[in-house]
Amino acid sequence: MSVIRWGMIGCGAVAEVKSGPGFYKSKNSLLLGVTSADMAMTQSFAQRHSVPNAYASTEALLANPEIDAVYVATPPSSHKLLALQAARAGKHVYVEKPMAMRFGECREIVDTCAQQGVRLFVAFYRRAMPRFLKIKAWIDSGAIGQPLCIRAVQHQKPAPEDLSRATLPWRLKPEIAGGGKFLDMGIHELDIFDFLFGAIEEVHGIAGNHAGLYDVEDTVTAAWRHAGGVQGCGSWCYVCDHDEDNVEIVGTRGRIVFEFFSDKPLKLITAEGCVEADIPNPQHVQQPFIQSIVDDLNGEASCPGDVESAVRSTWVADEVLKAYRRQKGY
């Protein structure tokens, strides 16, 4: 088994704890070099994480023949460009979610990676996290009988930086993120539902902006149907007066209830009572997924991430947001 040598593009908050350490803490994995738009940030990250090479440009990083794979950890507006550059340089590609700004860009990335003979992975990393594998195991074992429907709710109060256009994070700027917090966070839920129940084949959604704090959507409601018949509905609001995170998966013999974005105990509720599973999140939440990519590239196991499902998740988000985007002109 060979060591997969990684290059990383982007040294922001996600790379600091969630993902970056996973590349040098995973078995048979080495973070060989990093780069970003800010050389001081690049050098700081390299020093703090003992990365041997801090590059001044993407081109310099991609020119290193020792790098086997590249992690694109930048905002969505640059995903397509950087993924295509990496693929054309002969590097395997691991790109943050969403894969790109729109469905069409995703297809271009997929096609280019195939043409260049490199592998493509997208950071829907919850597919490898133990708590979500436990949920899948409960469902696959028939613990709730035949799955029928899903109800997902994510409601949040505005963050302090959301209250002024002068301090808005890039995740709320359409030209950089392509959408708002629904595209940043809600898409994780859509991907997990695809993982659990198969392709979402039909979706209807309404997006709006009620608070006027920024241009992207702040409230989304959606309903969808999976290929196997499971139906779902969701409500995402990021300008309300409370915080709520709840998912309920209902079957013919019981239900599973959990918070999606925390690691509070999962609940399996049936006629026999309530069983709880307390499964803390890993310190570096992407590490199990990164390990699965390394093992996949070495032919040892299959990564639970599926490129076509990642493309589908962007298609679903596009369908939900298309009327709002058309109205706002982006």
Give the Cα separation of 30 and 314 in Å (integer). Answer: 30
| Per-residue buried b or exposed e for 297-312, using 16+ beta carbons within 10 Å of the residue's own CB | beeeeebbbbbebbbb
Query: In the 8-state DSSP scheme, what is residue 177?
Result: H
Sheet strands side by side (includes 147-155): 200-208, 219-226, 231-237, 147-155, 244-251, 254-258, 266-270, 273-277
Nearest to 285 by CA among 70, 83, 152, 127: 127
Q: Which domains does the chain have, with CATH numbers?
A: 4-123 (3.40.50.720), 130-281+300-328 (3.30.360.10)
Closest CA to 131 of 279, 287, 305: 279
| pLDDT of 1 over the 80 cut | no
- DSSP tally for the chain: helices H, then strands E: 12, 14
pLDDT tens-digit readout, 6-52:
999 999 999 999 999 999 999 999 999 999 999 999 999 999 999 99
β partners of residue 236:
154, 220
pTM of the model: 0.97
152-202: pLDDT as tens digits: 999 999 999 999 999 999 999 999 999 999 999 999 999 999 999 999 999
